[in-house]
Copies of this chain bind each other. A is one copy, B any other.
Amino acid sequence: MKLPARFVIIGADAAGMSAASEARRCAPDLEIVAFDRNGFASYSQCGLPYLIGGLVEDHNRLIARTVGEFAQRGIVVRLGHDVTAIDANRRVVRVRELESGAETEHAYNCLLIATGASPLRPLVPGLDLAGVFHLDVLEDAIAMQDYLREHRPRRAVIVGGGYIGLEMAENLVRLGLQVRLVQRSQQLFPSVDVEIAASLDGELKRHGVDLSLCDSVLEACEGKGGRVADVHTSRGEVPADLVILATGVRPNVEVARTAGVDCGSTGAIAVDDHLRTNVPDIFAAGDCAEHWRRILGRPTWLPLGTTANKQGRIAGRNAAGGEERFAGIVGTAVTRVFDLKVGRTGLSEREAAEAGLACVATSLDSTDHAGYLPDAQSLTVKLVAEQATGRLLGGQAVGRGGVAKRIDVLATALYTGLTVEDLTRLDLAYAPPFNSVWDPVQAAATDLLRRA
């Protein structure tokens, strides 16, 4: 009797569980087991700031599918189980059950590493005090909620002005806290160009956030009961009874290394277009893996939930015997900061320059829909194009409405390599409540063509 093949997944996050579901669809008899050191599987990590801000009433609402629901589909999820090592020769993983400390070995025919990413912590004293949090897994958010309930902090310092820092600023202000945002560089949301990011400064200040640019945290200081009370930054000392660290993440590649899995120059796990690592029968997907960047034609590392879901699905299909290629990313992201939305796709002007691409760019101010309607909002669209060919390289947008719409048009255009001239030819939807007869994307494209 031939045993069914066994697909083992390390990490029950978006990538891991997408892979499990897809493998189940493709191979009804495949044995599928996912291990995760944490206590929750398959939830929306991007929803955590809104859970803390109270827009999401209950953390269970963030869970897409429960362990029980996976079990009903024949997918075993073992939470609180840390995979400590992979023996690729014997095709086993070593698993430690965190509660009991018991160690066991589990065989696999095919393995997926979906270990995600973990927060980078600044190397400064005091970050182990109570009241200092990062926002990585659901447990972090629940712990922060408990702390908020119990100690009612009033003054928060957020360290880091990327999207988690910005979303946490919005949500802590929603809870009534005084918020200071400390950002090391002189620009928030560094994945957009400086003139697009500049709008964020005013929006934060308008909502009472105390913004401290070109500043870094030096130390968190203890007050009563082992809890944080002050933060020293390079610009001075500020009282803080809550500190959020949001200074970026790094890929979790330790367990992959035990199997001899190679990382690429980005530090994340190198994968081919089938998401195979260099070790036979070991795949990697999601925030721990590299991501093929279409426009640059090389791997990058841009950990995002959308990509994790896509890679997970493809890895799951291939683990079940499929032959699907990951099409790559163009590099799309969007966030809301209070009433302002900001998004980007492709390459920023700075990224294009760093990649050695001679480019032309324009930023055009217009309105999200017909300017003669009373609720029209200002919208700025930036386009970046290759100078020699007119090929679109990237786009950014900022405004109170219609940002994600324009970013998605540009992301779709980038997927197929459209030129700026093509943008003017698109047959986009028009009615006065939605845009002008030339959509802002097309107006910006026309402007760029006339300048070039």
Contact = CB atoms under 8 A, between A and B. Distances in A.
Given A405-B404, A429-B332, A433-B336, A413 B411 contact: no
Interface in A330-372: 330-336, 341, 343, 345, 370, 372
Interface stretch (A42-50, A75-83, A177-185, A188-196): A42-50
A437 B305 contact: yes
A427 B373 contact: no
Contact of A373 (B14, B55, B345, B426): B55
Nearest to A25: B450
A143 to B, nearest CB: 20
Q: How many copies does the complex hold?
A: 2
A434 B47 contact: no
Contacts of A25: 450
Interface centre among A62, A330, A409, A450 (most CB of B within 10 A): A409
Given A408-B409, A430-B305, A437 B372 contact: no
Contacts of A405: 404-405, 408
A61 B432 CA distance: 13
B437 A309 contact: yes
Contacts of A163: 431
A427 B306 contact: yes
Interface stretch (A33-41, A202-210, A414-422): A414-422
Which 9 residue pairs across A and B have the least CB separation, nearest first? A334-B429, A405-B405, A327-B425, A412-B412, A61-B372, A404-B434, A416-B416, A330-B427, A407-B429
26 contacts: A44-B372, A44-B437, A46-B432, A47-B370, A47-B372, A55-B374, A56-B372, A306-B428, A329-B427, A330-B427, A333-B430, A334-B430, A336-B433, A336-B434, A341-B434, A345-B429, A404-B429, A405-B405, A408-B408, A408-B426, A408-B429, A411-B426, A411-B428, A411-B429, A415-B418, A415-B425
Given A328-B427, A416-B416, 6 more contacts: A14-B437, A44-B432, A331-B427, A334-B429, A343-B429, A408-B426
